[in-house]
Homo-oligomer: A and B are copies of this chain.
Amino acid sequence: MAHPQVYLAGPDVFERDPQAAAERLKRLCADQGLEGLFPLDAGVEPDPDLSLFAARISEANENLIRRCDGVLANLSPFRGPSADPGTVYEVGFARALGKPVVGYTEATALYAERSLRWIERIDGKIRRRPSGSVEDAQGYEVENFGCVENLMIDCGIAASGGMIIRPKDGAEPGAIPVELAIETLARILRRA
Protein backbone atom coordinates (compact mmCIF):
# COMPACT_ATOMS: atom_id res chain seq x y z
CA MET A 1 0.00 0.00 0.00
CA ALA A 2 1.28 3.48 -0.83
CA HIS A 3 2.43 5.53 2.11
CA PRO A 4 0.28 8.53 3.03
CA GLN A 5 1.85 11.70 1.66
CA VAL A 6 2.62 14.57 3.97
CA TYR A 7 3.44 18.12 2.85
CA LEU A 8 6.34 19.57 4.84
CA ALA A 9 5.47 23.23 5.40
CA GLY A 10 7.93 25.49 7.15
CA PRO A 11 10.72 28.01 6.83
CA ASP A 12 13.13 25.08 6.37
CA VAL A 13 13.21 26.03 2.66
CA PHE A 14 15.16 29.16 3.72
CA GLU A 15 17.93 27.20 5.45
CA ARG A 16 21.44 27.27 4.05
CA ASP A 17 21.08 23.65 2.97
CA PRO A 18 17.37 23.12 2.41
CA GLN A 19 17.96 19.75 0.76
CA ALA A 20 19.60 18.49 3.95
CA ALA A 21 16.59 19.72 5.94
CA ALA A 22 14.29 18.01 3.45
CA GLU A 23 16.16 14.73 3.69
CA ARG A 24 16.10 14.77 7.46
CA LEU A 25 12.36 15.44 7.58
CA LYS A 26 11.67 12.79 4.95
CA ARG A 27 13.70 10.23 6.87
CA LEU A 28 11.71 10.97 10.02
CA CYS A 29 8.50 10.65 7.99
CA ALA A 30 9.61 7.35 6.48
CA ASP A 31 10.27 6.03 10.01
CA GLN A 32 6.56 6.55 10.62
CA GLY A 33 5.38 5.09 7.33
CA LEU A 34 4.82 8.48 5.70
CA GLU A 35 6.16 9.96 2.49
CA GLY A 36 7.30 13.55 3.00
CA LEU A 37 6.73 16.06 0.20
CA PHE A 38 9.10 19.03 0.46
CA PRO A 39 8.28 22.35 -1.23
CA LEU A 40 11.38 22.11 -3.43
CA ASP A 41 10.42 18.63 -4.64
CA ALA A 42 8.47 20.00 -7.57
CA GLY A 43 11.84 20.91 -9.09
CA VAL A 44 10.75 24.27 -10.48
CA GLU A 45 13.49 25.60 -12.73
CA PRO A 46 14.84 29.04 -11.79
CA ASP A 47 13.72 31.72 -14.21
CA PRO A 48 15.42 35.10 -14.71
CA ASP A 49 11.91 36.60 -14.51
CA LEU A 50 11.55 36.46 -10.72
CA SER A 51 7.80 37.03 -10.70
CA LEU A 52 7.32 34.12 -13.09
CA PHE A 53 9.67 31.98 -10.99
CA ALA A 54 7.74 32.88 -7.84
CA ALA A 55 4.39 32.09 -9.49
CA ARG A 56 5.65 28.66 -10.54
CA ILE A 57 6.92 27.87 -7.05
CA SER A 58 3.61 28.94 -5.57
CA GLU A 59 1.61 26.86 -8.03
CA ALA A 60 3.84 23.82 -7.47
CA ASN A 61 3.50 24.11 -3.67
CA GLU A 62 -0.26 24.56 -3.85
CA ASN A 63 -0.45 21.47 -6.05
CA LEU A 64 1.64 19.47 -3.58
CA ILE A 65 -0.78 20.49 -0.81
CA ARG A 66 -3.80 19.56 -2.94
CA ARG A 67 -2.24 16.16 -3.55
CA CYS A 68 -1.09 15.37 -0.01
CA ASP A 69 -2.98 13.46 2.67
CA GLY A 70 -1.91 15.75 5.49
CA VAL A 71 0.34 18.66 6.37
CA LEU A 72 3.17 18.91 8.88
CA ALA A 73 3.85 22.58 9.67
CA ASN A 74 6.90 24.09 11.34
CA LEU A 75 5.28 26.96 13.27
CA SER A 76 8.38 28.06 15.19
CA PRO A 77 8.49 31.84 15.55
CA PHE A 78 10.04 33.47 12.50
CA ARG A 79 11.49 37.00 12.87
CA GLY A 80 8.82 37.87 15.40
CA PRO A 81 6.22 36.30 17.66
CA SER A 82 4.53 34.40 14.83
CA ALA A 83 5.32 31.64 12.39
CA ASP A 84 6.66 32.15 8.88
CA PRO A 85 3.81 33.71 6.87
CA GLY A 86 4.24 31.32 3.94
CA THR A 87 3.73 28.42 6.34
CA VAL A 88 0.66 30.06 7.88
CA TYR A 89 -0.81 30.58 4.40
CA GLU A 90 -0.27 26.90 3.66
CA VAL A 91 -1.92 25.84 6.91
CA GLY A 92 -5.02 27.86 6.01
CA PHE A 93 -4.93 26.47 2.48
CA ALA A 94 -4.73 22.88 3.71
CA ARG A 95 -7.44 23.41 6.31
CA ALA A 96 -9.90 24.70 3.69
CA LEU A 97 -9.31 21.49 1.71
CA GLY A 98 -10.10 19.38 4.77
CA LYS A 99 -6.54 18.03 5.18
CA PRO A 100 -5.39 17.17 8.69
CA VAL A 101 -2.63 19.50 9.84
CA VAL A 102 -0.17 18.90 12.69
CA GLY A 103 1.98 21.84 13.70
CA TYR A 104 5.11 21.91 15.82
CA THR A 105 7.08 24.72 17.35
CA GLU A 106 10.21 25.32 19.38
CA ALA A 107 8.35 28.01 21.36
CA THR A 108 7.49 27.14 24.94
CA ALA A 109 5.57 30.39 25.54
CA LEU A 110 2.06 30.91 24.19
CA TYR A 111 1.12 33.54 21.59
CA ALA A 112 0.05 36.20 24.07
CA GLU A 113 3.23 35.92 26.09
CA ARG A 114 5.44 35.90 22.99
CA SER A 115 3.60 38.92 21.61
CA LEU A 116 3.98 40.85 24.87
CA ARG A 117 7.69 40.10 25.08
CA TRP A 118 8.09 41.13 21.47
CA ILE A 119 6.22 44.40 21.87
CA GLU A 120 8.29 45.21 24.95
CA ARG A 121 11.44 44.51 23.03
CA ILE A 122 10.39 46.57 20.01
CA ASP A 123 8.84 49.70 21.39
CA GLY A 124 8.19 49.03 25.03
CA LYS A 125 4.70 50.42 24.92
CA ILE A 126 1.98 48.24 26.28
CA ARG A 127 -1.25 49.81 27.43
CA ARG A 128 -3.98 48.23 29.48
CA ARG A 129 -7.50 48.85 28.24
CA PRO A 130 -10.39 49.51 30.62
CA SER A 131 -11.61 46.02 29.66
CA GLY A 132 -8.43 44.58 31.19
CA SER A 133 -6.98 43.44 27.90
CA VAL A 134 -3.67 44.78 26.66
CA GLU A 135 -2.83 46.65 23.45
CA ASP A 136 0.34 47.55 21.60
CA ALA A 137 1.57 51.02 20.59
CA GLN A 138 -0.53 50.85 17.41
CA GLY A 139 -3.67 50.26 19.47
CA TYR A 140 -4.03 46.60 18.50
CA GLU A 141 -5.13 44.22 21.21
CA VAL A 142 -2.85 41.37 22.19
CA GLU A 143 -5.00 38.32 21.51
CA ASN A 144 -5.13 36.14 24.58
CA PHE A 145 -7.06 32.91 24.21
CA GLY A 146 -4.37 30.64 25.61
CA CYS A 147 -3.42 29.68 22.07
CA VAL A 148 -0.01 28.79 20.65
CA GLU A 149 -0.63 31.12 17.69
CA ASN A 150 -3.39 33.42 16.49
CA LEU A 151 -6.61 31.54 17.26
CA MET A 152 -7.43 30.96 13.58
CA ILE A 153 -4.32 28.82 13.35
CA ASP A 154 -4.75 26.85 16.58
CA CYS A 155 -8.46 26.28 16.09
CA GLY A 156 -8.22 25.61 12.36
CA ILE A 157 -5.61 22.96 13.07
CA ALA A 158 -7.75 21.47 15.84
CA ALA A 159 -10.82 21.45 13.57
CA SER A 160 -8.73 19.66 10.92
CA GLY A 161 -8.27 16.82 13.38
CA GLY A 162 -4.71 17.81 14.23
CA MET A 163 -2.93 19.72 16.96
CA ILE A 164 0.15 21.84 17.63
CA ILE A 165 3.00 20.07 19.44
CA ARG A 166 5.11 22.19 21.79
CA PRO A 167 8.33 21.26 23.58
CA LYS A 168 7.79 19.17 26.70
CA ASP A 169 8.40 20.76 30.07
CA GLY A 170 12.12 20.65 30.75
CA ALA A 171 13.07 20.28 27.10
CA GLU A 172 16.30 22.00 26.12
CA PRO A 173 15.85 25.51 24.70
CA GLY A 174 15.47 25.32 20.96
CA ALA A 175 14.44 21.65 21.01
CA ILE A 176 11.90 21.15 18.24
CA PRO A 177 9.38 18.34 18.79
CA VAL A 178 9.27 17.34 15.16
CA GLU A 179 9.43 13.58 15.79
CA LEU A 180 6.38 13.69 18.05
CA ALA A 181 4.55 15.83 15.48
CA ILE A 182 5.26 13.30 12.73
CA GLU A 183 4.20 10.41 14.98
CA THR A 184 0.98 12.26 15.75
CA LEU A 185 0.21 12.97 12.11
CA ALA A 186 0.96 9.33 11.21
CA ARG A 187 -1.50 8.17 13.85
CA ILE A 188 -4.18 10.57 12.58
CA LEU A 189 -3.68 9.42 8.99
CA ARG A 190 -3.82 5.72 9.93
CA ARG A 191 -7.17 6.38 11.58
CA ALA A 192 -8.54 8.29 8.58
Q: A residues within 8 Å of B by Cβ?
A: 11, 14-16, 50-51, 53-55, 57-59, 61-62, 65, 78-86, 88-97, 115, 118-119, 121-122, 129, 135-136, 139-147, 149-156, 158-159
Contacts of A11 in B (CB 8 A): 140
Cα distance, A149 to B79, chains bound together (Å): 14
Cα distance, A149 to B53, chains bound together (Å): 15
- Which listed residue, B62, B136, B153, touches A156 by the CB 8 Å rule? B62
Task: Name which residue of chain B comes closest to A121, CB basis.
Answer: B122
Task: Name which residue of chain B comes closest to A111, CB basis.
Answer: B85
17 CB contacts below 8 A, A to B, read A14-B143, A51-B147, A54-B147, A57-B151, A62-B95, A85-B88, A86-B150, A86-B151, A86-B153, A88-B89, A89-B89, A89-B152, A89-B156, A92-B92, A93-B95, A93-B96, A96-B97
Cα distance, A97 to B94, chains bound together (Å): 10
Cα distance, A51 to B155, chains bound together (Å): 9
Copies of this polypeptide in the complex: 2
Contacts of A54 in B (CB 8 A): 145-147, 151, 154-155
Task: Name which residue of chain B comes closest to A158, CB basis.
Answer: B55
Cα distance, A53 to B145, chains bound together (Å): 8
Task: Name which residue of chain B comes closest to A135, CB basis.
Answer: B16
Contacts of A143 in B (CB 8 A): 14, 86
